[in-house]
Structure 1
Amino acid sequence: MTTCPSAPVPARIIFPALGTTAALLVTDPGALPAAEAVLRAELAAVDRTCSRFRPDSELSRVNLNAGVTTTVSDYFAEALEAALRAARLTDGAVDPTVGRAVIALGYDRTFASVRPEDARPVPVARPAPGWRHIAFDPRARRLRLPADTRLDLGATAKALAADRAARQAAAMTGCGVLVSLGGDLSTAGPAPEGGWRIALADDHAHPDPQGGAAVAVTGGALATSGIRVRTWRRGGRVLHHIVDPATGEPAAPVWRTVSVAAAACVDANAVSTAAIVLGERALHWVRGTALPARLTGLDGTVVRLGGWPADSHAPTPPGAPATGTGGPR
């Protein structure tokens, strides 16, 4: 990863998906239709399997069967394994059992449908049941959730979808591919000359095209988590969607955005989300991962770790992908 040199703009398509924006870029314009078909199929699969807003999704069925052993699909098993990996990697700072806490805060429907102002008081928070209480046999794909537990796979499932789509599209087309789903971005195949130019969203839903911070990525993945875009008010409080599993409350505001680079988007997302949750403890913990990271405090102070390069403020070309802070719907 480097600061941004000048580079041609690859062929691209951008469309709404999963309650955020999907962006697909390819180094070979002729490969765009085939790569788009791969991406749309992957998005349909992750929505059908992991959406907590679809009553017919597999996740909804699994949550209704909490306390009972059930067999899950191959895709669900892979998504659950990704979520459990994130929990292990972060020592539980990212935990898939926060579903009930997120719903209690009012994020019980697609974000576009969440009430921006809700006079009802916020319910008394309860810690998440904890990922270690999930009983899962990955070989048999047999799962048993503790009673009264609801999984939320949103963030890790979206990152997994980005990884899977980029990898599959690159294998099918033989060219370089970048997939961006809100704040989750994954690449596969040969990068364009100078790398993929990525605009970094910070305090806003969209980066400044006239000179916002940007980097060039030559491989791997990048994820950005933040607390300023997906917010709503309830009982006079401003709430956001990143929940601390230890309390069941939105994570205390210390960092407004965190961007992390890793080999896989699932890992980058796990570390960026954990940093938001860990707050003041994040700097020491993120240093321990040795991953490149950029943390922006509430006052705009930027901390770079793990070799993250100094910001480039050259104008971002039209259509360049961006790491935003859009979470699951």
Structure 2
Amino acid sequence: MTTATRPFAATDRVDLEIWSTTATLIVSDPGLREPARTELLDVLTEVDATCSRFRPDSEISRILARPGRPAQLSPMLNAVLAQTLRVAAATGYLVDPTVAAAVIALGYDRDIADVIDRARAVDLLGAGAEPGSSAPGAWRLDHDPEVARLTVPPGVGIDLGATAKSYAADEAASRIASRLGGGVLVGLGGDIAVAGPAPAGGWRIAVADDHRATVAQHQTVSITSGGLATSSTATRRWSTATGWRHHIIDPRTGRNPAPRWRTVSVAAATCLDANAAATAAIVLGDAAPDWLAGQGLPALLIDVDGSAHPMAGWPDPAGTR
């Protein structure tokens, strides 16, 4: 995962526990700390209320409860869905929101903290661990972004988890920079977006398997714009009677991808694009390096043995920072 190191004083930084992860906010102007925090919380609240599949009262849950019926979308859900379908097509549907049934079949049917707690209970070990089937395909969703309307066919679920979090990071950083001014970094777990003027030397970001880790970091890099995201099979995982499961699903099979990459970090023009590319790389396995090179995206791939494979301009962890 990725997490921002401290280029400014601690008073310029806010860390919040949300969505079973850590939200980090850093601003270049200490006077903007509190209003920026308010803007961040507004975005996170809005994204949760519209996109969460764990809330029966969320907008997407209410739409899925009425399959086959056209639904008018809020501006936030319309924007998230439009970007979700864009990156789905851009990745050849390797990052596909219709994996919901497969994700649930593997046991990820509630907040990840609750999934892990349940897996630790001996009497429930292995519950919901059977592999699902291939995803129906995002192309089956009838979405018209111009009029903000969506029709979901019966039998098709939607999981926006792969994109809503990274979209929230982009949106919060953009709002804070445009409304308040100054430089800003927003991190949501392994998803980081920056906007406005960068500090001297760029925003310093530690790359590791887990954003909460204080050791075993792979390296520290810096960015001045856009986003950086890390996808990992070492986090958001749980034990079952048949082995470990994790949150990344290959839409083509409904199963976890073959274990090739433990962690993939990507830098891109937006956090959303970086996250989609990192997730697609884990799904692609051996084909990931060629695919990332074709996209022209700097990336660091860590294989299951811990060996690092930088590419497309990503600095070598063994070299200078």
Instruction: Mark yes or no: TM-score above 0.5.
Output: yes
Q: How far apart are 1:208 and its partner, in Å?
A: 3.6
Does the alignment pair 1:139 with 2:139?
Answer: no
Does the alignment pair 1:276 with 2:291?
Answer: no
More helix by share: 2
1:277-318 deviation digits (Å, cap 9, x = unpaired):
111111111111001110000011111111001227999xxx
| Structure 1 residues 6 and 155: alpha-carbon distance in aligned structure 2, compared to 1, 3 A threshold | closer
1:177-212 deviation digits (Å, cap 9, x = unpaired):
00000111000000111111101112x453445975
Does the alignment pair 1:34 with 2:35?
Answer: yes
TM-score between both structures, scaled by the size of structure 1: 0.89
1:174-323 superposed matches below 5 A = 174-202=181-209, 204-208=210-214, 212-311=218-317
2:55 partner letter: R
- How many residue pairs were aligned? 311
| Structure 1 residues 59 and 193: alpha-carbon distance in aligned structure 2, compared to 1, 3 A threshold | same
- SS of the counterpart of 1:23? strand
1:85-164 superposed matches below 5 A = 85-114=86-115, 115-117=118-120, 118-120=125-127, 122-164=129-171
Alpha carbons 1:20, 1:181 under 8 Å: kept: yes
Alpha carbons 1:262, 1:291 under 8 Å: kept: yes
- SS of the counterpart of 1:22? strand
- SS of the counterpart of 1:191? coil
Alpha carbons 2:102, 2:135 under 8 Å: kept: yes
Alpha carbons 1:199, 1:215 under 8 Å: kept: yes
In structure 2, how many angstroms separate the alpha carbons of the residues matched to 1:174 and 1:194? Answer: 19
Alpha carbons 1:14, 1:23 under 8 Å: kept: yes
Partner of 2:62: 61
1:122-144 deviation digits (Å, cap 9, x = unpaired):
33521000011111111111211
In structure 2, how many angstroms separate the alpha carbons of the residues matched to 1:226 and 1:256? Answer: 6
Alpha carbons 1:200, 1:207 under 8 Å: kept: no
What are structure 1's unaligned runs of at least 5 residues? 316-329
1:227 partner letter: T
Q: How far apart are 1:235 and its partner, in Å?
A: 3.1
| Structure 1 residues 6 and 167: alpha-carbon distance in aligned structure 2, compared to 1, 3 A threshold | closer
- SS of the counterpart of 2:175? helix
RMSD of aligned residue pairs (Cα, Å):
2.2
1:176 partner letter: G
| Structure 1 residues 229 and 313: alpha-carbon distance in aligned structure 2, compared to 1, 3 A threshold | farther
| Structure 1 residues 248 and 176: alpha-carbon distance in aligned structure 2, compared to 1, 3 A threshold | same
| Structure 1 residues 212 and 123: alpha-carbon distance in aligned structure 2, compared to 1, 3 A threshold | closer
What are structure 2's unaligned runs of at least 5 residues? none
Alpha carbons 1:66, 1:150 under 8 Å: kept: no
Q: How far apart are 1:161 and its partner, in Å?
A: 0.5
Alpha carbons 1:28, 1:176 under 8 Å: kept: yes
Alpha carbons 2:229, 2:274 under 8 Å: kept: yes
Alpha carbons 2:27, 2:33 under 8 Å: kept: yes
In structure 1, how many angstroms separate the alpha carbons of the residues matched to 2:201 and 2:9? Answer: 11
In structure 2, how many angstroms separate the alpha carbons of the residues matched to 1:223 and 1:181? Answer: 10
Does the alignment pair 1:84 with 2:85?
Answer: yes
TM-score between both structures, scaled by the size of structure 2: 0.92
Q: Percent identity?
A: 46
Alpha carbons 1:101, 1:128 under 8 Å: kept: yes
| Structure 1 residues 142 and 6: alpha-carbon distance in aligned structure 2, compared to 1, 3 A threshold | closer
Partner of 2:177: 170
Which structure is higher in RCO with an 8 Å CA cutoff and minimum separation 6?
Answer: 1
In structure 1, how many angstroms separate the alpha carbons of the residues matched to 2:76 and 2:93? Answer: 23
Q: How far apart are 1:146 and its partner, in Å?
A: 1.9
In structure 2, how many angstroms separate the alpha carbons of the residues matched to 1:120 and 1:311? Answer: 40
1:275 partner letter: A
In structure 1, how many angstroms separate the alpha carbons of the residues matched to 2:280 and 2:29? Answer: 36
